[in-house]
Amino acid sequence: MEQQSIQTQIKKLLKERNAVLLAHNYMRDEVQEIADITGDSLALSMEAAKTDAEVIVFCGVHFMAESASILSPEKTVLLPRLDAGCPMADMVTVEALRDLKKSLPGVPVVTYVNSSAAVKAESDICCTSANAVKVVQSLEDDEIIFAPDRNLGRYVSGFTNKRFHLWEGYCPTHERLRAEVVQELKQNNPDAPFVCHPECNPQVVALADHVCSTTGMYDYCRKSSAKRFIIGTEAGILWRLKRENPEKEFILASPALVCPNMKLTSLEDVLEALTTMQPVVKVPEETRVPAKRALERMLAIPRD
Ligand code: 13P
Ligand code: SF4
């Protein structure tokens, strides 16, 4: 079936089902194109919490759909590809986190939203890449456990005097970006600021002119007077960057910056999900309630 015809059918079904389509900034171009809302993890969880729609079609990865289910248990949350996971989220298990908590009694756990609902349920507060510094600064404790992203944790630790116990997780996609590659690109394109995501490794982050979440990148590139940018995050971000700034040029720092999980969801998958109303992601109450506490504590911190 032709792309346009699938998009038309999806739009029709969205209306019939009283559904909203949320898409992460890393989704395929044609999926972002039909989304009601595109955004970063923080923006999408806030949208999921406030929408009046009865059905949320979450085009993203599993932990994002879980967050929507945690915040809106009365809604049906569809994840068109149940196999779209996040390898970083899988790097922390409830059992291992419990063991670490036992060895560090009283030390609060700050957990990146890229984690399972069960891990969130074991955490004191969540954070995203957009609010991690503020979240950590909101805590009075001198020590924190930060899971699962060691790179985001290390980056945030530079903004406070707190002692960080870093989990050894990382994003395999961002980790593929090497500092030598960025250095060469910067030398060859001295007019182009290098903007990167804090999931990149510390050597790469040290080379950045600006470090931010995916939504932070849209703001930065729109407001900047520069005409060209070197982009250090997943390739999906380019679609909206180019659309919003047709006169500017965006250089992806490496062709390896493609997350296979974020690329799984096709228009056909979205259509199938809306037709069959499957697969549904539903977090059980005993996990949902404590996980919601950690997410809501984060959402109470105002966004800039
Ligand atoms: P943000 O959209 O929060 O910057 O997230 C990046 C990411 O890797 C999501 O999986
Ligand atoms: Fe997970 Fe990285 Fe893919 Fe985001 S880009 S879903 S953190 S593997």
Mean pLDDT rounded to a whole number for the chain: 96
**Which of these ranges, 38-52, 91-105, 163-177, 226-240, has the smallest mean pLDDT?**
38-52
Confidence of residue 246 (pLDDT cuts 50, 70, 90): very high
pLDDT in tens, 111-157: 999 999 999 999 999 999 999 999 999 999 999 999 999 999 999 99
Task: Give the domain CATH number at 206.
Answer: 3.40.50.10800
75 and 23 in a common domain: yes
**Are both 124 and 178 inside the same structural domain?**
no
Q: Note whether 60 and 25 are same-domain residues.
A: yes
Residues 32 and 77 in one domain: yes
| Among candidate residues 144, 170, 196, the one where a domain is terminated | 170
Cα 61 to ligand 2 centroid, rounded to whole Å: 8
62-71 helix and 41-50 helix, angle to the nearest 10 degrees: 30
Q: Is residue 222 part of a domain?
A: yes
For the entire predicted model, the pTM comes to 0.95
Q: Is residue 303 part of a domain?
A: no
Residues in contact with ligand 2 by the CB-under-6-Å rule are: 61, 86-88, 114, 171-174, 199, 234, 259, 261-262
53: containing domain: 3-84+262-282
Beta partners for 22? 37, 58
Together in a domain, 131 and 160: yes
* Inside any domain, residue 266: yes
Residue 172 CA: which ligand 2 atom is closest? 8
According to DSSP, the residues that pair with 251 across neighbouring strands are 230
- CB-based contact 148:126 (threshold 8 Å): no
